[in-house]
Amino acid sequence: MTTQEALDYFIRRKAQLGISDKIQQAETLAISALEKQIPKKPILKEYGFFGPYPFCPCDNALINTRNDSWHKEKFCPNCGHALKRSENND
């Protein structure tokens, strides 16, 4: 089962009637954790005098820019969301 399939399962299951509040809370937490594992491409925005700089697509946090090494970052340093790295570093 892929991460996306597991996410889809929990979203469908959470919508069912008759599930207790504690189970719904646990499933909401599972959905949040699974969503963070699906990589998203950073958003490039102008920042300061130089740019563009990469920002997390989920919480808008600035991603590491030391020596233009942000292309090597696998996760947002702030929220932990998986980042999709491009092969040509754009």
Per-residue pLDDT of the chain (90 residues; tens, 9 = 90+): 888 888 888 888 877 767 788 888 888 898 888 989 999 998 888 877 777 888 899 899 888 766 556 667 788 888 989 998 765 544
The secondary structure of residue 38, as a DSSP letter, is S
> Model-level pTM?
0.68
Which residues lie below 8 Å from residue 58, measured CB to CB, with a gap of 6+? 36, 40, 76, 79, 81
